[in-house]
A = this chain, B = another copy of it.
Amino acid sequence: MSSSDIVLGPNQYGKAEVRVVRVNRETPVHTLVDLNVSSMLRGDFTECYTSGDNTRVIATDTQKNTVYAFAKEHGITTPEQFLLLLGQHFTGQAEVSGGRWSAESYPWERIRVPGPDGTLTEHEHSFVKSKQEIRTAALTIADGVEHLVGGFSDLTVLKTTGSEFSGYPKDRYTTLPETDDRVMATDITARWLFAAGAEGQAAAGAVDFDAVYARVKQIVLEQFALVHSLSLQQTLYAAGEAVLGAIEEIEDIRFVMPNNHHYVVDLSPFGLENPNEVFQAGDRPYGLMNASVTRRGAPARPQAWEWIAGFC
């Protein structure tokens, strides 16, 4: 086979995990935003791959520098806004036709210290990291269209009752007993796609990304708590439906939810009953749910979700 029968397929390149902390010191009450930013560029970079010609290759080091310079020049209000700035900057370069910009955002809380009267009040410049979940955002620009996705990773929840699992098919390899009362636990990862146009609204200040974030998190927690669950899938869907019902800027929400199994320990060899009181928290294997909840008739936007050469 001649090598001319072999060609470059989809590709992107960039700088990953640029750790930027932006402090706002304009008043004595400081604020901070703590991000881990990645920038991946797409365009016609064929010559670089086939002959090592870097004429069109914006150095990944330059991408990193841009992140830091923009943090100073423009500040960082929300991860989503910052990614929109970066994406619009890079796609304004002749070499770049599109790309993907993403960020993890680490929430911090103010440390509370005793005030003059002994009551706890928030300190002006001291913070403790809240690790309950990691906030995420990703912007894909493809064919001139922006696809903006918010989200969070690994919000870990557990309920000690209010969960069942039964009625599933039985085959030769089925041994699981049915149950009408089990522990249900998961690490909720969610990603939500903003409706087309939300980016424009964002630019106009009409979308408050922080407020959307807080509402989605609260709604998901509530649904987990309140739904009497016949399957983890049902809980997932209820959470998605409630989010879409409440927040019109969101068009599609996708979840990855492992089923963090808690096994009822068999204490009968020791002459003890165990009415769902003592559990072994399992590591592997685990169930895994993966689903989208979306608006009927929403346009297909596969580019919002795909990785060019993506695989885990």
Contact = CB atoms under 8 A, between A and B. Distances in A.
Given A127-B159, A158-B32, A114 B305 contact: no
Contact of A130 (B72, B73, B132, B281): B132
A303 to B, nearest CB: 11
A61 B165 CA distance: 12
A287 B14 contact: yes
A293 B59 CA distance: 22
Nearest to A30: B160
Interface residues of A, number: 155
Interface in A50-90: 50-62, 64-66, 68-69, 71-73
A48 B286 contact: no
Contacts of A127: 157-160
Contact of A294 (B7, B40, B159): B7
A283 B284 contact: yes
B59 A174 contact: yes
Given A60-B259, A156-B128, A183-B21, A277 B72 contact: yes
B13 A171 contact: no
A131 interface: yes
Nearest to A130: B132
A201 interface: no
A68 B19 contact: no
A280 interface: yes
A12 to B, nearest CB: 5
Nearest to A62: B174
Interface string A224-250: 111001110110110011001100100
A145 to B, nearest CB: 18
A310 interface: yes
Interface string A256-270: 101100100101011
A191 B221 contact: no
Contacts of A176: 59, 61-62
Interface string A264-308: 010101101011111111111111111111111000001001111
Given A158-B129, A255-B309, A114 B290 contact: no
The 5 closest A-B pairs by CB, nearest first: A52-B230, A9-B292, A11-B291, A126-B225, A129-B156
13 contacts: A16-B284, A22-B277, A25-B160, A36-B284, A49-B291, A51-B230, A62-B173, A62-B175, A65-B173, A111-B157, A111-B225, A126-B157, A307-B310
Given A25-B275, A151-B311, 12 more contacts: A11-B290, A12-B291, A20-B278, A23-B276, A51-B234, A55-B169, A59-B176, A111-B221, A125-B162, A126-B157, A126-B225, A175-B269
